[in-house]
Structure 1
């Protein structure tokens, strides 16, 4: 149930009073302490009534806020905690609390890398610690996927600002395949994260086709107000809706991929689909299953399938089936004792 700020201040004040066992607390004492706290924190001069304190004590004793405070009355006059170590600040988090905090942390973690959310970084770390410890001394039970060595996050805020402002950039970039830096004009349209790496998608120079650039390969960039921003209204996050990963060329058509998954891995593929278009086509008596997805053909797609090894077979289309077979043959050859005849890798 929602609790207003003033009530929370009163609960916290009453809790602090009852924890001080070197003094006996009457209703009048608690009234005075709460009135002083509200004046200090909120500037409220109107005192707190006895009725309000009685309702607060009743609420703290109840399960409505999860406190279940062991408040007792001594000599029919003085209020204290029956358990000397009790405090409303030490209440263990419930499973529902942990679930809610998990969702909040997942959302907040997406803002890491933005300097104006620097305070959020610290808050997220503290939230993660609280969740892991569950406000107890137990070992950490939750571990988020992260890459502490990830490069390029320092560019995230500036690129985001350029996307929002529709501002052209002069970018210095060095791809993994290039020995030298490239300097070009980029018209950034949106940002994309995949497998803990960030990418910026936009139009380069005067080219019409969208291109994708990894932030960890960006050397520098700066605004170029001398060049009008080129805007493509069709180039947004939806441009990659038929894509696994970020590799896609303009005009590339999606294909229907049909594949069989073994009985051991079928449940995993059912509960964690490769793509939102995934459809269960057939489930055999032996537990294996046949699925389909509609996606564009790229390297990330092949890597996802190869990760299942012998538990996944591509049935259609024939070209993709052949490429996966070639990759498996190449991998098999690497583990042979006899010398390998040098040949082109099927990576490209």
Structure 2
């Protein structure tokens, strides 16, 4: 359980204790109550120190969380609320809070037809009703790109829960190059979205290699009937994809320094939206701005470069420059 969730449970527990005015509460009582509450949520003993509860009380008294709880000590050892009817659960929602929540609701509403968020429909509707009923029909002023016609979205929920529950799956898959579908056993690890398409990173059961599968090429998914122990690779997406653009990762390929030049008219677009987090600006002259990125050379990188057409020139490495030149030459031949 995340530490911030533990803290919220402790705040709520301390609040419940202090609202019970039929009992006098010393610090040890509050510590015991917090320990019991965390045990109930965690299912195991959780150590709550004296210092932790003292800091919790200090936090509740402050305005950092908006509580400003009137917690006082009387007879030098007992804790109580100075205001009899006070509770942190009764904190009023301000107009600013309502405005922020409404803006968030408008964003969430755009995901209501997306398979992963289907279960949130009722939650969003209840938020709309309880937060600000007269805002319900407002047109969203933030529009997120999505394509409801994408194939494969129906698999997201199944894959999400398989990863969460560490299940081995039998998947029927047909790549664009394959003549027929094939069935494979996989250990699903991570769902990845790129360029408005969804992909699954999974470990093959036989070869034990991480492979990327496009969700729109998945024919069917079923739970494995074989008695196979799920292998968790503990994939951190930020680390796994840190050296690539897109989803194609080659585990034995070393990232290379890619050098390219963008004309001055289009350079601001690349400066404000870098190709990659490693991007650096090297120089600028009357012909354009030169950048470098350190990435694996893959299909997605080539697509990004080709997307800039005649406004970009690859300077290094030479093999990437030659490959892009060949693609542009063949493209030109189609128009001649």
TM range (shorter): 0.5 to 0.7
Tell me, yes or no, if the aligned pair for 1:108 and 1:120 is still in contact at 8 Å: no
Structure 1 residue 289: deviation in Å? 0.8
Structure 1 residue 247: deviation in Å? 1.3
Partner of 1:24: none
Matched, 1:324 2:296: no
Counterparts of 1:121 and 1:216, CA distance in 2:
29
Give the TM-score of the pair, scaled to structure 1.
Answer: 0.60
Tell me, yes or no, if the aligned pair for 1:281 and 1:290 is still in contact at 8 Å: yes
Counterparts of 2:209 and 2:231, CA distance in 1:
12
Tell me, yes or no, if the aligned pair for 1:112 and 1:118 is still in contact at 8 Å: no
Q: How does 1:297-336 map to 2 (within 5 A)?
A: 297-336=297-336
Superposed CA deviations along residues 103-153 of structure 1, whole A, max 9, x for unmatched, are: 9727984993226525169759x89xx9xxx9999x876543121211111
Structure 1 residue 208: deviation in Å? 3.0
Partner of 1:105: 107
Matched, 1:296 2:275: no
Q: How does 1:114-263 map to 2 (within 5 A)?
A: 114=116, 117-119=119-121, 142-224=142-224, 226-233=227-234, 236-263=237-264
CA shift in 2, pair 1:243/1:123, >3 Å? farther
CA shift in 2, pair 1:161/1:142, >3 Å? closer
SS at match of 1:292: strand
Q: List runs of 5+ in structure 1 lacking aligned partners.
A: 1-63, 67-88, 337-348
Counterparts of 1:103 and 1:115, CA distance in 2:
13
SS at match of 1:203: strand
Tell me, yes or no, if the aligned pair for 2:190 and 2:235 is still in contact at 8 Å: no
Q: Based on CA coordinates, which of the two structures has the bigger radius of gyration? A: 1
CA shift in 2, pair 1:180/1:277, >3 Å? same
Give the TM-score of the pair, scaled to structure 2.
Answer: 0.62
Partner of 2:279: 278
CA shift in 2, pair 1:260/1:146, >3 Å? same
- Runs of 4+ displaced beyond 4 Å: 120-124, 134-137, 139-142, 234-237
Note the aligned Cα RMSD (angstroms).
Answer: 3.6
Tell me, yes or no, if the aligned pair for 1:173 and 1:219 is still in contact at 8 Å: yes
